[in-house]
Structures are given as C-alpha cells and as structure tokens.
Chain A
Amino acid sequence: MAQPIRIRARHKDGKTEVLILMPHPMETGLRKGDAGAVVPAHYITDVVVKAGERVVLEAQLSIAVSKDPLLSCRFRGGVPGDRIQVTWTDNMGNTRTDEALIG
C-alpha cells in the first residue's frame, strides 16, 4: 500500500499504451491466516487512469484479481511528455495516486 504505483506509458502510431503495476495484497477475505482467523478482505475496488484531465479508463476490481494488480490499456492520442495519472481506491478506504510521463 505504501509502495508507489509503477506506470509505463509509451506512445506509438497515434496511440498510447499504458502498463500499470499497483502493489497491493488483494486479500480475498476467504483465507485463514496462521492463527486460524480469517484474514480480512483487503483489495483494490476502483482504478481511474487519466491522461492530463482526460479520463482514459475506469475499472472496478474484485477479489478475483491477482495480488499486485497488473493492468494494461491503450488509448488514442497522448503526446510524449503528457502526464498519466493512476489512482486506486480499496475496500478499506485507502487510496493512492501516482503519475508518470508518456515516453
């Protein structure tokens, strides 16, 4: 959760492809820990990807998404040097935003 989102954005042939890695435990809430108690659900529920002010992706994730979600998307436009901003929110109310420039 304290770890930054890793973002790689590459522009090619009029489109920008974005690769996003969000370190997060993505606990399902169905697993028992060492003490035998159920480990509470702790997972990213929402992700928003923006290029400048423009929203290019909105996603809702569930417990079925793997730990440290790795998402990839592509959109028309984007210029090298533009800012890509990724924000995630999880079921416990935590949130994190990180940015990168389109390469």
Chain B
Amino acid sequence: MSDGIGGPLDPVRGRGADPSCFAQLNRRGFLRQSGWYVALVGCGLLTARGAAALTNSSVFSARSLQEVIAALDGVAASGSDVLLKVPELVEDGAVVPVTLSSDLPDVEALYVIVEGNPSPLAIAVKIPDGTDPMISVRVKMAKSGRVHGVVKTAGTLYSAATDVGVTVGGCA
C-alpha cells in the first residue's frame, strides 16, 4: 500500500497506529506553528497587509480555502492555466502525491492547500526566474476533501482544485 517511508511510526504498534494524529484539533498545536508564520513573512511570501491579517495566527486556524486566500492577500480564480495533478482516490492519507504546475508566464509562487486539514496550507514555493513553475510534493490528508493548487503571477492568484477521496485518513 505505502512505499515504506510514509506516515508516523509508532515503535510498539507500527506505522499508523494512532488514529487521532490529525483528528486532534488541539489549539496548542496551532499556536506551536507560529515559527512557520515568521518564516513566511521573512521570505517575502506575505505582503505587509497579508502579514497584518495574520497577527492572530489566523492561518493556523483557517478551515477553508477562502480564509487562507484572504490571508494571502489575493483572490483565487479558477483557470485552465493551473494544472493540479493528484489522485482522486488514495488508500493512505499519510502520503498523497501532488504535482502543481502552470503554463502562465511570470509565475512567482505556488501554493498547495488541503481543505479539511488542521493546517490547510501545506507548502508555499517561491519560483525564481529560470525555474519552471512546477512542484511535486507528498502531503498528508486527514480525511477526504478538496486539494487546491494556487499559482501567483504578478500579484494575481489563480487556482485549480480536485476532490480527493481518502480511504484511511491522516495516519491511521
């Protein structure tokens, strides 16, 4: 089922033994992620206005794409120029392969967002000149839901989404 290197490993009961890994919506866990927020601002991926909107760590409590996009200071728009490749059904939610790419010119950044995760924004990638606007990554999904790929070009966001069914979610 899995390739041997996915999911948390419990030394006694083996991989995926804890079904509550992603289901625990513990506020303490959210606040602990604030270091990541600082890294985002420091790398210029958040505008000054976007950063002000996140002073309450709203990224970490955001449950929907709309909330995360509002924090990213942009408007998501569907477009055929955003290619999101992800399987529609996965057995193991601990390892979901996602490839996000775009044919749009002057892409600055790519984002992969997993609705239904405690931390919806899975990865943010900065694309320098000369690098193809493409990223492949493996993400965790707590449960079946929508995966969004968002592409930022010249300050505008474009997105595509796919509904992904997860048979065994998160890490169980």
Contacts and interface: CB of A to CB of B under 8 A. Distances in A.
Interface of A: 15, 23, 25, 27-34, 38-41, 45-46, 54-77, 91
A46 B126 CA distance: 11
A41 B5 contact: no
Interface in B17-36: 18, 20-22, 24-26, 28-29, 32-33, 35-36
B5 to A, nearest CB: 5
Q: Which residue of B40, B117, B121, B131 has the most chain A CB atoms within 10 A of its CB atom?
A: B131
Contact of B39 (A15, A45, A76): A45
Interface residues of B, number: 53
Main secondary structure of the interface of B (DSSP, over half): loop
Contacts, number: 151
A49 B132 CA distance: 13
20 contacts: A28-B21, A30-B29, A31-B21, A31-B24, A32-B24, A34-B10, A41-B29, A45-B35, A55-B128, A57-B135, A58-B126, A59-B124, A64-B121, A64-B123, A66-B95, A66-B138, A72-B134, A73-B131, A73-B132, A73-B134
